[in-house]
A and B are shown apart, each in its own frame.
Chain A
Amino acid sequence: MLLVGIALMAAYAVLAMILIYVERKITAFFQARIGPNRVGKYGLFQTVADVLKILIKEIIHVNNVDRFLFYTAPFFMIIASMLTFGAIPFGKELHVIDFNIGVFYVTAVSSVGIIGVLLAGWSSNNKYSMIGAMRSGAQFVSYELSAGFALMTMVVLSGTMQFSEMIESQRFCWNIFNGHISSLVAFIIYLISGHAETNRGPFDLPEAESELTAGYHTEYSGLQFGFFYLAEYLNMFIIASIAATVFLGGWMPIHIKGLDTFNQIMCYIPSYVWFFSKVAVLIFTSLWIRWSFPRLRIDQLLNLEWKYLLPINLVNILVMVILVLTGLTLTDLF
């Protein structure tokens, strides 16, 4: 039990550090800069240095904040992302939590994070924080629906909510191909709402620095700010890995029915390599989107969700059900 905890914590911290480095480097390349290159070769130890720096920064006690809520908010952020993180299958037999309601558990637990954001914004007693938190709340809550429905479409297809069974059902055909156009629509909707849920990409208006300083964590300093930062990056990883697991087969290698030799060769590549390469592709896509589109306005953002994604999603679920019931999915056909 202790071992599980330590391993999880180490993975959490190390992944966040790697992600921050990767994000900074890739962002720099997108913007025709070099990015971090002073600490260590290619700036590889930049994030290590940053972590050390943030640890020795003073935690400033702001007047007029709601003390209790102010200090509880980081707990919500970290615990919510940690609970979701624990449910990710990193490889064959390499997962901590494998509930039979996996997908539902993930959608339920990941939405606890928003309580942390709202508490942080409300308790700071700062107008920037307040507006940031409100925007973030409206945005998260809206896109949570689409993300949930997109995952539900895949639950219909796989017929199970458990991640391990879901991956097993994608042995010969990934879910994204299995349900034809319906799967693809769900995948794209999931990517969009995943972006919005993590306050990234064109949807980063809760933290729009030109108008709101830093949004809901304006008043936080030192490591407390670090926790928000950590949770944000981990959430990006979590969204990418859920997408990889549910739509792209998770740690399952590419298998083609009938080609046994090919399948066996593919199995020699370790399962976690498959998982992390799929996640890496998705994270790169997310960064690409982030630096390619201009920021939306709050009304455009909410319109996109409620007037387009949600109705499309509801229809999409019905289409998927019909596909499944009439036996038109790829695995049923071949």
Chain B
Amino acid sequence: MSDLSLFLTVFLTGVVLVVGGLGMAILLSPKSFNPQKGEPYECGIPTRGTSWMQFKAGYYLYAILYLMFDVEAIFLFPWATIVRELGIQGLASILFFLLILGLGLAYAWRKGVLKWK
């Protein structure tokens, strides 16, 4: 089998697992209605307001920082596979690349992004 069909098989297995499981659970499980049941979980008191609101920005800063390094990883993986063939020259160019990224991290660090406030 080709790679793509294998991938699709595994993907569909996941879908079938969830759909089949849920279908079975819906068939087997009891159903009852009670207005209290639909309330959001809280410690005894009714929930106040919605939770879809502005959230601490600190989390997003980490997400942006992550994006930078993750895109870098995409470039680094192909290089990592053929390190032996590329030799010293490859190392030199990737060193420059890593240096710029390191500067990015150092800048974020200096700016206090990595400090939890």
Inter-chain contact B105/A311, CB cutoff 8 Å: yes
Instruction: Tell me, yes or no, whether A41 is within 8 Å of chain B by CB.
Output: no
Q: How far is the CA of A222 from the CA of B26 in the complex (A)?
A: 10
Q: Please name all residues of chain B whose beta carbon is closer than 8 Å to the beta carbon of A83 when the two chains form the complex.
A: 7, 10-11, 14
At the interface with chain B, which of A71-79, A177-185, A189-197, A256-264? A71-79
Instruction: Tell me, yes or no, whether B69 is within 8 Å of chain A by CB.
Output: yes
Inter-chain contact A302/B114, CB cutoff 8 Å: yes
Instruction: Tell me, yes or no, whether B112 is within 8 Å of chain A by CB.
Output: no
Find B83's partner among A1, A124, A226, A325 (CB 8 Å cutoff). A325
Q: Could you count the A-B residue pairs with CB atoms below 8 Å apart for me: how many are there?
A: 200
Closest Cβ neighbor of A139 among chain B residues: B62
Q: Please name all residues of chain A whose beta carbon is closer than 8 Å to the beta carbon of B52 when the two chains form the complex.
A: 122, 125
Q: How many residues of A contact B (CB 8 A)?
A: 80
Find B109's partner among A55, A137, A222, A307 (CB 8 Å cutoff). A307
Q: How far is the CA of A243 from the CA of B40 in the complex (A)?
A: 39
Q: Please name all residues of chain A whose beta carbon is closer than 8 Å to the beta carbon of B70 when the two chains form the complex.
A: 144-145, 148
Inter-chain contact B114/A307, CB cutoff 8 Å: yes
6 residue pairs A–B, Cβ–Cβ below 8 Å: A5-B12, A57-B29, A58-B32, A74-B18, A137-B59, A223-B21
Listed from nearest, the 3 A-B pairs whose CB atoms lie closest are A299-B116, A82-B14, A86-B10
Extra inter-chain contacts (19) besides given A83-B11, A137-B63, CB under 8 Å: A4-B9, A5-B9, A5-B12, A96-B9, A96-B10, A101-B77, A124-B51, A155-B77, A155-B80, A222-B25, A222-B29, A223-B29, A299-B115, A302-B62, A302-B114, A303-B116, A306-B62, A311-B102, A314-B98
